[in-house]
Structure 1
């Protein structure tokens, strides 16, 4: 490939951020014959054995195919992988009116997708990256400065016990260090941020009744509840679910202050006790809801990936799926550039990634935000509008097909008999 002063370059890609997106990119490009160095602030123990954070990640069929190609899917334990066979969308109090029932019929798939704990995805991404030739993972690295030059990108970082920063150079630096990315800011790539003024509370719960691997999205008028089916408890086989409550800041504080038994009872009541009594397992985790969309996904010598490029509202479960789409797209673009002896960090090369990722991400991002605004507005007219939207979706098979295609990652298809009103 064409590069200025190759002897001064440390690798083909510098990746700032050792989350599952950044680590997956490192493994992906290394498997394609490139070299990558990942700089991560957490220490090795935190990457190798990440603590549960309450988040459960819904994965589409293309995402699982990518993880299988990388080899990280095969490292998941059996009790860490759950199926999403179908999904029900409820407007207002659960059971008051019919729900929109979505399933994979007509797509050629037997189910909508899979669900995996976030900490398991982090662990397996690290295991694969750390064992892939061509990948170097620097842990405990505090990035001090990121810059792009005419011939290369530069990253200065410190590790524990160091007084002097170390400098690494590569044709390209990729920011993959969260939706509040400090690297993105240093690279001069701005982002539009949407603060929804709400907090999401996530936790695991034991269920009295089986969930039949069906997810539920309940758009209540005061707060939103998602109930996600999880694999049965590996010890005693009890049904398990993830409860995701979204509320304004005041209500979230009140919910977090409840005793575990009272909180579980509150969730069970909002779900009209459809899974019977619920019991909190582990801790509740709270996260502010802030969506991010970068003004540009790439420039000369730099690119954005994962939440640093697009930080999604979780309601449509596209966040990590978008990150894996970015991994696949950027790997393809860089591999093609190498085959043509092109500079990996050239603006013309990276714009191919930026355009492709924007075409895929923007409709999902804009559509998700529109859904959130409509279904969290408690005024009378928006209530009427959301009821009309849901009713239309129940009666229009093509619209259902489009929704299912986004959930599965497969092309739209006409739903088979049985889609529509449920409950």
Structure 2
């Protein structure tokens, strides 16, 4: 039987960042991950581009991860534009309203994972007591006032003071602890990929609510091979239509995406593999239990329309790791009921309002009836004239 202070289930970006955040606190940490160590060291492109706020970038710097990402892979997110249907009009959220040179930055998820893992290895090489147990799966978690026990598929058992779930919005660990979650299945899927295009995106993100589809364009730096303008493209449709789109050959796919974007970007060319994800948002009834906490998507699984998912994850990690480090330094229980309750209250306060607002936005802006489309257009035109409103959105996008 192995003993450690903290068990983190899931070595994705959230789990790795939590391990980094705790690495200087003098605690022993075990990370458990079903994927192999080779995959953790060199994760494959998964289609997802993460929009990070100024606050999140600053925090990744403190964790030693930001500088490990290649500069060319960090794309400036200057502005945001919201479109409705075929109208060329858009509500524009400019970076100047946020007080920063840009709203934030765009980085591929797999590069964040790689950088976070490299930071964990660096911390371990520098003396931090971190053990990564790859190719392992948790099959049971049991906690009480005295401690926590985690049983693995291999037969091993780990005892700890605290268990933290960082294993996705569909967290098995959270379910093992008996924590229910509110899940909203939007009945649609997202196809994500990287494409080049003729017209410049001017480093502006697009959110385009069209008839029976939602499109997003996330600006990337120029293609390293061709020098062409490049973006992450997100198409949200019914699952059957997404599967049809995913099966098209590259040429047919290019022509259809051009058509869906009404050729506003000119000719478009697929530059990556395509990836499909179900559109489901998740908010657990509780973030904590006895000697147990959730972080990342296991705590809040956001709809991507407001681009706050990973940013909320880092906010929760900063809150929880700070409380744990402070408790350990004071020689008190790092997993007391009071400590975990304070974390839950603070993280719920930080996430619940925007989670509910996002649900409202997606419900209103994805309805396809004519009255809904007319109402959306009116709201965008009113919003474009309300500078205080746009400033508040800009500040939110920047993480202020």
Per the shorter chain, which TM-score range?
over 0.9
Counterpart for residue 419 of structure 1 = none
Cα distance in structure 2, aligned partners of 1:323 and 1:241: 24
Contact 2:97 2:394 in 1 (8 A): no
Give 1:183 deviation, angstroms. Answer: 0.3
Counterpart for residue 123 of structure 1 = 114
Report the 3-state secondary structure (helix = DSSP H, G, I; strand = E; otherwise coil) of the residue aligned with 2:244: helix
Deviating beyond 4 angstroms after TM superposition, the runs of 4 or more aligned structure 1 residues are none
**Are residues 1:113 and 2:89 paired?**
no
**TM-score of the superposed pair, with normalisation by structure 1:** 0.91
Contact 1:130 1:136 in 2 (8 A): no
Residues 9-66 of structure 1 show CA distances to partners (whole Å, capped at 9, x for unaligned) of 7222110111000010011011233321110010101111111011100000111011
Counterpart for residue 72 of structure 2 = 79
Counterpart for residue 252 of structure 1 = 242
Cα distance in structure 2, aligned partners of 1:241 and 1:407: 19
Residues 321-345 of structure 1 show CA distances to partners (whole Å, capped at 9, x for unaligned) of 1111111010111122223322111
Cα distance in structure 1, aligned partners of 2:110 and 2:161: 31
Cα distance in structure 1, aligned partners of 2:191 and 2:179: 31
**Are residues 1:298 and 2:288 paired?**
yes
Counterpart for residue 209 of structure 2 = 219
Unaligned runs of 5+ in 2: none
Unaligned runs of 5+ in 1: 1-7, 160-164, 411-423
Report the 3-state secondary structure (helix = DSSP H, G, I; strand = E; otherwise coil) of the residue aligned with 2:23: helix
Counterpart for residue 60 of structure 1 = 53
Residues 257-307 of structure 1 show CA distances to partners (whole Å, capped at 9, x for unaligned) of 322222222222232322221001122111110110010111220000111
Counterpart for residue 104 of structure 1 = 95
Residues 60-104 of structure 1 show CA distances to partners (whole Å, capped at 9, x for unaligned) of 0111011100111111012211110111110111xx242101112
| 2:182 aligns with one of 155, 179, 192 | 192
Cα distance in structure 2, aligned partners of 1:303 and 1:150: 14
| 1:347 aligns with one of 329, 337, 344 | 337
Within-5 A mapping of 1:279-298: 279-298=269-288
**Are residues 1:46 and 2:6 paired?**
no
Contact 1:145 1:156 in 2 (8 A): yes
Give 1:395 deviation, angstroms. Answer: 1.5
Cα distance in structure 2, aligned partners of 1:318 and 1:34: 29
Give 1:122 deviation, angstroms. Answer: 0.9
| 1:35 aligns with one of 28, 40, 43 | 28
Counterpart for residue 368 of structure 1 = 358
**TM-score of the superposed pair, with normalisation by structure 2:** 0.96
| 1:379 aligns with one of 369, 377, 387 | 369
| 2:231 aligns with one of 238, 241, 249 | 241
Give 1:117 deviation, angstroms. Answer: 0.4
Counterpart for residue 262 of structure 1 = 252
CA RMSD of aligned residues (A): 1.4
Give 1:126 deviation, angstroms. Answer: 1.0
Cα distance in structure 2, aligned partners of 1:106 and 1:278: 31
More displaced 10-residue stretch of structure 1: 291-300 or 228-237: 228-237
More displaced 10-residue stretch of structure 1: 385-394 or 179-188: 385-394
Cα distance in structure 2, aligned partners of 1:143 and 1:255: 36
Report the 3-state secondary structure (helix = DSSP H, G, I; strand = E; otherwise coil) of the residue aligned with 2:236: strand
Counterpart for residue 140 of structure 2 = 145
Cα distance in structure 2, aligned partners of 1:108 and 1:10: 48
Contact 2:29 2:131 in 1 (8 A): yes
Cα distance in structure 1, aligned partners of 2:352 and 2:11: 25
More displaced 10-residue stretch of structure 1: 256-265 or 136-145: 256-265
Counterpart for residue 307 of structure 2 = 317
Cα distance in structure 2, aligned partners of 1:328 and 1:288: 28
Contact 1:27 1:135 in 2 (8 A): no
Residues 215-273 of structure 1 show CA distances to partners (whole Å, capped at 9, x for unaligned) of 11111012011111111122332221111000112221222232222222222223232
More displaced 10-residue stretch of structure 1: 104-113 or 44-53: 104-113
